[in-house]
A = this chain, B = another copy of it.
Amino acid sequence: MSLSARKKEILRAVVIDYVKAAQPVGSRTIARRYKIGLSPATIRNEMADLEEMGYLVQPHTSAGRIPSQKGYRFYVDELMEAEILKDEEKVSIRKVFHDRKLREIEEIIKHTSQLLSSLTNYTSLILGPHLKKSAFKKLQIMPVDMQRGLLVLVTDTGFVKNKLINLPQTLSISELSRIVSYLNSKLKGLTIDRITATLIRELRRDLYFHVKFLEDTFTLLEESLAEDERRVFLGGTTNILNQPEFGDIEKVKALLTLFEQHSLLATLLASPVVGVEGVVIKIGKENVLKEVQECSLVMTTYCLGKEVVGTIGLLGPTRMEYSKTVAVLQHVVNSLQKL
């Protein structure tokens, strides 16, 4: 069921005003601030309707109205207008992606998340690439001292993983390099999740004469690959403290505690649905996690190369500047993907 043009106008005004002022907005305010050409009384009637339909709520009788979750949803889906970034914002985005000699993916992501949070004043969440989905590129074992070596693993997404391992003293340099190049040839181009137990057993057979040493290495290799956890990067975690809805310490604590539980955050970001123009918006209770049910999450997936590698999102109160947030997110993700 659709709303009359006038109701839409009013709903929009309520959302915009409430987002800006964080105060329930009354009929008088709308009549004054937004040129709708109607008297407060008429607006009151319309607002009463909107409340009955569930788009607005009243904190108490004789207070102004606040958008409900349904109200925000309608606003986001039908009323919101695309926003254009300010030049200075564009500049600061460009700066981050062009000025720096960023090569490693982790560095890039960290800077991106800082950028997002400073542009929006919300908290940015970035789910990193799925290690298992990226392809093996190169492996190297580099002797460090008599007993130990450093196992270095590089993937095509630019991931670098290293781990100290024990080396048997009997192993000569040339043997080691033979083993390494053998492993490289065998693993080349495989995605990490295809390097399974079976394959490893096979390799182990081929290299049976080094079994003791490899036992160790393979175990570590397996372990580090089994670390399914995708990394989550956060930016601007203290930004929520600026929001009036988080004046209550308990709420702050709940959220900040959530921010430390990266595995939960990963589930939050891992919903792979794609929305309009790639951006998905989850409002309030639409989020499964109860800690963020007073928040909204604006997110999208991003690619490096041609594969989708992760999710990038902004978390703020439901009373959020949706259009601006969407604009920033899209612009930043675009710039990111051009790398």
Contacts of A152 in B (CB 8 A): 142, 150, 152, 162
Contacts of A163 in B (CB 8 A): 103-104
Q: How far apart sit A144 and B164, CA to CA, in the bound complex (Å)? A: 20
A289 CB-CB contact with B under 8 Å: no
Q: How far apart sit A247 and B250, CA to CA, in the bound complex (Å)? A: 10
Q: How far apart sit A249 and B253, CA to CA, in the bound complex (Å)? A: 11
| B164 with A104: CB separation less than 8 A | yes
A339 CB-CB contact with B under 8 Å: no
A29 CB-CB contact with B under 8 Å: no
Contacts of A162 in B (CB 8 A): 152, 160, 162
Cross-interface CB contact of A143 among B138, B164, B247, cutoff 8 Å: B138
A206 CB-CB contact with B under 8 Å: no
The smallest beta-carbon distance between A137 and chain B, in angstroms, is: 6
A227 CB-CB contact with B under 8 Å: no
Q: How far apart sit A162 and B104, CA to CA, in the bound complex (Å)? A: 10
Q: How far apart sit A256 and B164, CA to CA, in the bound complex (Å)? A: 34
- CB-nearest residue of chain B relative to A177? B177
A252 CB-CB contact with B under 8 Å: yes
A145 CB-CB contact with B under 8 Å: yes
A179 CB-CB contact with B under 8 Å: no
Q: How far apart sit A56 and B242, CA to CA, in the bound complex (Å)? A: 36
| B154 with A158: CB separation less than 8 A | no
Cross-interface CB contact of A150 among B160, B246, B249, cutoff 8 Å: B160
Contacts of A267 in B (CB 8 A): none
Q: How far apart sit A144 and B241, CA to CA, in the bound complex (Å)? A: 44
- CB-nearest residue of chain B relative to A138? B144
Cross-interface CB contact of A252 among B142, B249, B260, cutoff 8 Å: B249
Given A163-B104, A164-B103, A252-B249, A144:B150 Cβ within 8 A: no
A238 CB-CB contact with B under 8 Å: yes
Cross-interface CB contact of A145 among B137, B238, B257, cutoff 8 Å: B137
The smallest beta-carbon distance between A245 and chain B, in angstroms, is: 12
Contacts of A164 in B (CB 8 A): 103-104, 158, 160
A217 CB-CB contact with B under 8 Å: no
A140 CB-CB contact with B under 8 Å: yes
| A260 with B247: CB separation less than 8 A | no
| A260 with B238: CB separation less than 8 A | yes
| Residue interface bits A139-181, CB-to-B below 8 A is 1, else 0 | 0101111001010101000101011110000000000000000
Contacts of A104 in B (CB 8 A): 163-164
Cross-interface CB contact of A256 among B103, B154, B165, B241, cutoff 8 Å: B241
* A positions within 8 Å CB-CB of B: 103-104, 137-138, 140, 142-145, 148, 150, 152, 154, 158, 160, 162-165, 237-238, 241-242, 246-247, 249, 252-253, 256-257, 260
A selection of 18 A-B contacts at a CB cut-off of 8 Å is A104-B163, A137-B144, A138-B143, A138-B144, A140-B142, A150-B154, A150-B160, A160-B162, A160-B164, A162-B162, A237-B260, A238-B257, A238-B260, A241-B253, A241-B256, A242-B253, A246-B249, A247-B249
The 4 closest A-B CB pairs, nearest first, are A103-B164, A241-B253, A140-B142, A238-B256
